[in-house]
A and B are shown apart, each in its own frame.
Chain A
């Protein structure tokens, strides 16, 4: 079997898995403590939000769309959740009600994006930039200044342990179960079919518009789940919390083997891609890079990882 055909047969997340293993190995060499259970738990709970966000981003990328408003949705969900928990009280019933409302807000944002891009046929990049300004405005309206604390019960649960196992691992397990369920449903294959060739998908009788709108709604819901994680991690509300994370969600999806031209990729790959981005950050730190050089080394490493991922990703070329 020749190398190219081998490359073509492997699952799309193979390159990122190899990069991830290298990153773990390098982290372990640079600082053995970076692989301790404590450090891993910190890594996971910090990057859970990016994992959820990049899975949502990947869902729309499957259908050859893109959502540049995910960070703004995350911020809007964060302030909605914190404000509602304040209004409804920090007891379990109030927290669950607030989470339900925040989830609905995320889904609503996704629905608006879907209607604008799919039904009204706006270009996805500029339309979702427009909605991101709108969502940021709404977040600022709900909470003009950052700093309202989340109820103790909420962040204590997120940062705590159940039966000795960190809660973040349960969330991660939940995300993986969600990915398996989604990948086995009709939803993901249909999104990929639409992204691969929209006209062909339409001619085979697939409801192309409805599939793409549902993709945006799913993306909004995942952004809301990411918002829950951010709220648990930072324990407070901040309308600008989603500032830089949008571009990272795109990078994680591409690292994970998704093609921006649609039709290729896996949701699992994006989870790995998010972890790579997280590990690059910790590697740069553990290598003892002088602090002012850390961003540059991180930027160069992410760029190199993106190149390697795309060059060896076979079909994933756009």
Chain B
């Protein structure tokens, strides 16, 4: 790992620790084990979404996925209805979720690669379609419940005192590091992100690779939607909406610039933790909603000033 990718991780990690200490000083109990566990679970939910966002951004050519929130909401709704509170329905629900994510990811990918629609526009249009689909599917009434096994997986200590979702997140972290660092596919992602014409001349199947990134983003969002259903117990309207921009911010705070071609997922995981701890701290402080938003917005801008700056031309 080079210094350029390591520095943001170090800053973000340091800030997480600093915020935890500040939180403990302001409101004792903020850094208690239970609270840390709770914040980690929330960070894992965001982190899983951000894994797909990270891949799409790494692939360059203005890669971005604004449809993650729609996929999350739809997958939570589908999963809730398939399992309907029964453990026996868990496996079909997982399969249904992954299918939903893969289909919408594939549509995004085909729009971006075959029709050459800018990713921001394609995934924005897809978000509109998904939101419409949600209204149709839900017909105005929230429905579907999480299976007990799924709820336990997300919020109950299971192995070594940690809930399954944290192990899942760690596994995704390892898998992403392996994928990006040690596989041909990973090298291709960096190649098309850094210089697509050169990658094509070198024989990289650029369209296939880029399409795969959007499919993976859809699948990660769908898995996150399943876990969010387990966390909240039932699917409610637009449960995924808040993840659209926060997943992008987590990626950027983790040291992957939106221009693509460089960065990694380890930083994104710390970025997700940082965002969640910051929000947790603001919730703990007894200030009004407006004050929280003002501080959160200002803090985001200051954080971005630390290392979210593009190294583009200085004119």
Contacts and interface: CB of A to CB of B under 8 A. Distances in A.
Contacts of A300: 129, 132
B177 to A, nearest CB: 24
Interface stretch (A9-17, A35-43, A50-58, A128-136): A128-136
Given A122-B305, A260-B120, A299-B132, A134 B291 contact: no
Interface in A263-318: 292-300, 302-303, 306-307, 310-311, 317-318
Contact of B257 (A123, A131, A298, A307): A123
Contact of A123 (B139, B258, B313): B258
Chain A: interface secondary structure? helix
Interface string B116-130: 111011101111111
A127 B125 contact: no
Interface stretch (B2-10, B144-152, B244-252): B244-252
A250 B310 contact: no
A187 interface: no
A310 B121 contact: yes
Contact of B294 (A138, A302, A303): A138
A258 to B, nearest CB: 11
B115 interface: yes
A130 B310 contact: no
B128 A134 contact: no
Contacts of A170: none
A297 B118 CA distance: 22
Nearest to B288: A144
Contacts of B111: 307
A299 B131 CA distance: 8
B132 A140 contact: no
Interface stretch (B24-32, B35-43, B94-102, B295-303): B295-303
Nearest to A203: B315
B64 interface: yes
A261 B132 contact: no
Contact of A141 (B117, B294, B308, B315): B294
Contacts of B249: 126, 129-130
A184 interface: no
Nearest to A284: B132
Nearest to A243: B241
A88 interface: no
A298 B290 contact: no
A292 B131 CA distance: 11
Interface size class of A (residues with CB under 8 A): 35 or more
A122 B305 CA distance: 7
A250 B120 contact: yes
B285 interface: no
A96 B125 CA distance: 39
B125 A299 contact: yes
A306 B258 contact: no
B296 A133 contact: yes
Contact of A250 (B124, B245, B290, B291): B124
A163 interface: no
Given A251-B125, A260-B62, A317-B116, A125 B301 contact: no
A144 B128 CA distance: 29
B140 interface: yes
Contact of A307 (B115, B245, B291, B308): B115
Given A130-B304, A318-B118, A261 B128 contact: no
Contacts of B252: 123, 126
Interface string A63-104: 000101000000000000000000000000000000000000
22 contacts: A68-B245, A122-B310, A123-B257, A123-B310, A127-B304, A129-B249, A130-B300, A130-B304, A131-B297, A133-B296, A134-B293, A140-B288, A198-B315, A247-B66, A251-B124, A293-B132, A295-B128, A299-B128, A300-B129, A302-B128, A311-B115, A318-B62
Interface of A: 66, 68, 116, 120-123, 125-127, 129-141, 144, 198-199, 202, 208-209, 247, 250-251, 254, 259-261, 292-300, 302-303, 306-307, 310-311, 317-318
Given A136-B293, A296-B132, A306-B117, 19 more contacts: A122-B304, A125-B258, A126-B252, A129-B248, A130-B301, A133-B293, A133-B300, A137-B295, A137-B296, A138-B290, A138-B294, A208-B315, A209-B315, A250-B120, A261-B118, A292-B136, A295-B136, A306-B121, A307-B115
